[in-house]
Amino acid sequence: MKTIKPANRRNFLLAAGLGSAGVAAAVVTAGKRVKVAATEPAAAEPSGYRASPHILKYYQTTKV
């Protein structure tokens, strides 16, 4: 039976902490981008549903 070295657990916990910090930074950065995009005038884009060419192609593939 193998024994688990304490260094392996420490490295895992360090990597998990750094990974979660990276995710938190990405969430914060993404939130700032949304705020900047929301300040642009929305009148240029039509509201509502719009069937783009790739959606129409998908509809064609689902016909029986």
Q: What is the pLDDT of residue 56?
A: 92
pLDDT in tens, 4-51: 666 788 888 888 887 888 788 777 777 655 455 555 555 566 677 888
Q: What is the pTM of this model?
A: 0.33
CA 9 to chain centre: 29
Cα-Cα-Cα-Cα dihedral sign, residues 37, 43, 44, 50: positive
pLDDT in tens, 30-43: 765 545 555 555 55
- What does the domain layout of the chain look like in residue ranges? 1-41
Q: What is the pLDDT of residue 57?
A: 94
Say which residue, 50 or 57, is predicted with more confidence: 57
